Structure 1
Amino acid sequence: MRLRHRALKAIHDYMDELHFVQITTSVLTTNDCEGAGEIFRVQPDSDVLLKEMARPNIPTEHSYFDKKVFLSVSGQLHLEAMSHGLGNTYTLTPAFRAENSKSPLHLSEFYMFEAELAFMQDISSLTSFIEKMIKNVTLRIIESATDDLKFCQEKALGSAFELPWLKAAWITLTYDEALDILIANKEKFKTALKPNEGFSKEQELFLANHCGTPVFVVDWPSDQKPFYMKVVQTKPDRVHALDLLMPEVGELCGGSLRENDEMRLRSHPRLPQDLEWYLELRKFGGVPTGGFGLGFERYLQLLTGVKNIRDVIPFPRYPHSCQM
């Protein structure tokens, strides 16, 4: 927990030095930012209260807020709104995913660091920022929490270890290039390669190990990514999206350039309802932005070698378990 504290402080200090504005995004939201349906609904437990607050033409279960409300899966859309007025912003808040997974890399409640960068217009600038940030923050943690980091590594793997990716140059592959590597090695996988569904955890780890360094996979098929990602002009079926694949944990970051064309967003077949406010950000001319989210607990696993994500958070929540 001391190491967790130092990691949080290192992130906040780094972002503050770059003059990013921290935004405390809401945990309650009407949005499913990722569009995957992996959301927890929120409503009062009291039937009496719901009946008291009932209004015409509103379902009783929605009577508190007058609509469906969820626990947030991401603060990204709210960060975008703030960045249009404040410039570069970030948040580090809980996120919630209703996934039926007890894997050592998944939690129902976890912390996510998200940043939104104003005037971001090419994906290589975004990958460069992410690489520099992760390396800088990690060096700060090593300097401020040497003994705690060494202790955690020794408990997890028997001995302290170096982080070779700190000194290595990270590489970028397009989705198609990454897919070609996986197809050429498909006999090595336990799970079948399904190009239309993205990459499995096994395949993510293979790519990182095959390349011998962290890998940014960019230019993803648009049908595999959410509605808000900017289309690649030369490839209309691709979007300016990135996944950062790291050794031991696989995907650590996901991000993209954001679509700033209002009409293109309006015509997107997977545009969620009730997002008129989001479209309005582009209506009268907006700021081109790009951003990313980083799973904080996976980052701690990467630093410490801890295999189970439940061991790097004080009160883990996962399917069939919500103690205390």
Structure 2
Amino acid sequence: MLRARRLFRALRSCSSAPCPRPRPSARLSVRDALGSLGTSGERVKVQGWIRSVRSQKEVLFLHVNDGSSLESLQVVADSSCDSRELAFGSSVEVQGQLVKSPSKRQNVELKAEEIKVIGSCDSQEFPIKYKERHPLEYLRQYPHLRCRTNILGSILRVRSEATAAIHSFFKPSSKINLPEKNFFDVPAFLTVSGQLHLEVMSGAFTQVFTFGPTFRAENSQSRRHLAEFYMVEAEISFIESLQDLMQVMEELFKATTMMVLSNCPEDVELCHKFIAPGHKDRLEHMLKNNFLIISYTEAIEILKKASQNFTFTPEWGADLQTEHEKYLVKHCGNIPVFVINYPLALKPFYMRDNEDGPQHTVAAVDLLVPGIGELFGGSLREERHHVLEQRLARSGLTEAYQWYLDLRRFGSVPHGGFGMGFERYLQCILGIDNIKDVVPFPRFTHSCLL
């Protein structure tokens, strides 16, 4: 381990003036350190991981990062210090003084007085190599280490900022205290949606949302499916048209994205530059245009007239496949497009019947976005007791959903809601091709590494 006293004596001997006894250091994140020039004589402590080491004749340069910023903090130390353990990937604690940097590459640097190696790293064995731009496919093999790279760090900071932006958009209430022990006297399952619970809450609060993990047991290895993913779901009372619901969906997408772009510009730029060149322009195109609206029937007509050969033949009454969704967005000028009014037979019992004769559609909506396909899915809910009762009876679900019928008996109101796949949203704004690269620990069929 590097001997801090030895380094401190070496640095002190380089100064012609006597060095006073150091005052206690204020701990700063790298992000905060980069944004401050400090005050005269102020000492700070920074903890993080070494991103690079460069030794010159009289001085040693380290770049240290703690994940709070894309940019690393330059640390300047005396070259006489023992640098054998100061290797790429090692964790360190550095105390010293923040000073204005003479280099144009950074505003400030940390003049080290004391360096401690907390955990050494064998850079030869470390699978992530300094100055190598590893493909995302390679990094996916190391879910326990890949978050230390610049690109995954940027993606996860954007993920964090987008989470905060979504909470800000919905203005959540205070935290709910969960019990320390979770056990039930009835069977319990991993949720695929919080929608029905939100409908309960929408009977007392006019606007509610939830944001948490959901699960699917789909046998899919596609680039847009996970077995565990996060979903944003919202339910709004006293809403009577899909237009009103779509307005909230579009505002959520745009407001969240604008906040991410404002608060994480460097991280987003890194993804756009190295992972998805040209995606910045595509994203700006989405943000500056109003989203389009077509009906399911119009969508099928567009697909039937397409010169493209589809694996799944488009037919009225059949569900839209990913290839269909991507074509529709491209056909609409790569602007997100709402597809509304799907056949009743394709949708769950709770979607509101449009009562439109032979076609028999429901007030459902999907938002399709470039490169991804479906991002949002929602509908108006069937609030009429007699209609819902008939639908449940035909499906043999009346007994299991008696409580759901009760919601229609006691103060029911027109309402609607939607869900947005959070990882797909991150794919959309960053241009990430594979959904497994926007979540810290991807879990999918036949794979649960951590």
TM-score (norm 2): 0.60
Please point out which of 250, 261, 270 is paired with 2:395: 270
Asked if structure 2 preserves the Cα contact closer than 8 Å seen for 1:109 and 1:316, the reply is: yes
Would the aligned equivalents of 1:89 and 1:116 in 2 still touch at CA under 8 Å?
A: yes
1:321 matched residue in structure 2? 447
Matches within 5 A, 1:1-324: 1-16=156-171, 65=184, 67-158=186-277, 161-162=280-281, 163=283, 164-185=285-306, 187-212=308-333, 213-235=335-357, 237-268=360-391, 269-270=394-395, 272=397, 273-324=399-450
RMSD, matched Cα: 2.1
Q: Alpha-carbon deviation of 1:158?
A: 4.2
Alignment length (residue pairs): 284
Which residues of structure 1 form unaligned runs of 5+? 27-63
Aligned residues of 2:279 and 2:431 also touching (Cα < 8 A): no
Q: SS of the counterpart of 1:161? A: helix
Change (3 A) 1:200 1:308: same
Measure, in 1, the Cα distance between the counterparts of 2:233 and 2:175. Answer: 10
CA contact (8 A) 2:300 2:314 kept: no
Shift of residue 65, structure 1, vs aligned partner: 4.9
Checking the alignment, whether the CA contact within 8 Å between 1:179 and 1:195 is kept in structure 2 is yes
TM-score normalised according to structure 1 size: 0.83
Alpha-carbon spacing, 1:194–1:320, altered in 2? closer, same or farther (3 Å): farther
Q: Aligned partners of 2:372 and 2:174: how far apart in 1?
A: 27
Q: CA deviation at 1:106?
A: 0.2
CA deviation after TM superposition for structure 1 residue 285, in Å: 2.7
Paired position in structure 1 for 2:84 = none
CA 1:199–1:22: 2 relative to 1, 3 Å:
farther
| 1:153 CA drift (Å) | 2.0
Amino acid at match of 1:161: K
How far apart are the structure 2 equivalents of 1:266 and 1:79? 20
Q: CA deviation at 1:320?
A: 0.2
Give distance in 2, aligned partners of 1:186 and 1:283. 51
Per-residue CA deviations over 1:127-176 (Å, capped at 9, x if unaligned) read 11111221111111100110111112223224662211100111111111
Query: Identity over the aligned pairs, expressed in percent?
Result: 42
**Larger Rg computed on CA atoms:** 2
Query: Is the alpha carbon distance of 1:271 and 1:283 closer, same or farther for their aligned partners in structure 2, counting shifts above 3 Å?
Result: farther
- The one of the two structures with greater contact order (alpha-carbon pairs below 8 A, sep at least 6) is 1
Amino acid in the other structure paired with 2:203: H
Between Structure 1 and Structure 2, which shows a larger proportion of helix residues? 1
Contact conserved, 2:213 with 2:229, CA < 8 A, in 1? yes
One-letter code of the match for 2:395? R
Contact 2:303 2:324 (C-alpha < 8 Å) held by counterparts: yes
Residue 37 of structure 1 is matched in structure 2 by none
Offset at residue 206 of structure 1 (A):
0.3
